[in-house]
Amino acid sequence: MKGRLFIIAGCSGVGKGTLLNLFLERNPKIKLSISATTRKPRKGEQEGVNYFYISKEEFLNSIKNDEFLEWTEFSGNYYGTKKSFVEKTLNKGTDLILEIEVNGAKNVKAQKPDAVTIFIMPPSVEILEQRLRGRHTEDEETIQKRLNEAQREISEGQKFDYKIVNDNLEDALSNLQAVFDKEGAKNA
Ligand code: ADP
Ligand code: 5GP
């Protein structure tokens, strides 16, 4: 039996990372895919844990060699999911989560219609901005770019299989767990 593929998207600062850290602690058999990116590591982020941090040249090379299941340019940086990692994990029977932005999510869903898409919604755009600023990891220009993407992402998010509002964190976590349970994730 192959593993199931789950795709989680949502605006920058909505709380995807926070939710997923807690979710994966509670569901240790489910794996999170590690993407490649050309963005610089944030304070506290680690190579091979949060991302594989590569140069633009290496990234363009991987595109040329058809190594990505999907890739995108977001807010001035490249991000991509390696085919080999996804296929190896699913073939082992392990359920896998991709935490990617909406274009990547659409692209993967078109290739793998069985994938379950989940969009994490902010309670409001004002709260999204507060969270993004409150994280203190981006400069003003980056915050503005990310907020500019938010409205488009929220409208794209309406087409996802499931939508979860991350207002109260514990409520959002139980709603996320309920989706995985319903979809028959092995560890759920
Ligand atoms: P993302 O991974 O979607 O960019 P993060 O997980 O980094 O977002 O969360 C952005 C900020 O919002 C962090 O400072 C985090 O602690 C905070 N946060 C996340 N979820 C909630 C929540 N339900 N209520 C209040 N603050 C939250
Ligand atoms: P961040 O810079 O905040 O880590 O990520 C910015 C955005 O890129 C987030 O929406 C995140 O989900 C998305 N992202 C991360 N990795 C990938 C990837 O491999 N592919 C795509 N399409 N988006 C990604």
Distance from CA of residue 187 to its chain's centroid? 19
Q: Is residue 13 lining ligand 1, measured as CB closer than 6 Å?
A: yes
Could you tell me the residue ranges of all domains in the chain?
5-187
Q: How many CA atoms lie within 13 A of 33 on its CB side?
A: 30
Question: In sequence order, what DSSP letters do the residues of 109-160 get, joined into one string?
Answer: HHH-TTSEEEEEEPS-HHHHHHHHHHT--S-HHHHHHHHHHHHHHHHHHTTS
Rounded to the nearest angstrom, the distance between the alpha carbon of 186 and the centre of ligand 2 is 25
43 contact partners, CB below 8 Å, separation of at least 6? 137
**How remote is the CA of residue 132 from the centroid of ligand 1, in Å?**
8
Ligand nearest to the CA of 131: 1
| Integer Cα distance of 177 and 135 in angstroms | 25
Among 42, 125, 131, say which to mutate for ligand 1: greatest number of ligand atoms within 8 Å of CB.
Answer: 131
Q: How sure is the predictor about 113, in pLDDT bands with cuts at 50, 70 and 90?
A: very high
Of 1 and 81, the structure prediction assigns the larger pLDDT to 81
Residue 130 CA, ligand 1 centroid: distance in Å? 10
Q: Measured from the CA of 120, which atom of ligand 1 is nearest?
A: 3
pLDDT category of residue 105 using cuts at 50, 70 and 90: very high
State if residue 153 touches ligand 1 by the CB under 6 angstroms criterion: no
pLDDT of amino acid 188:
54
pLDDT at 57: 98
| CATH superfamily label, 5-187 | P-loop containing nucleotide triphosphate hydrolases (3.40.50.300)
Nearest CA to ligand 2 atom 17: 100
Q: Report how far ligand 2's centroid is from the alpha carbon of 184 (Å).
A: 26
Nearest ligand, CA of residue 41?
Answer: 2
pLDDT tens string 124-144: 999 999 999 999 989 999 999
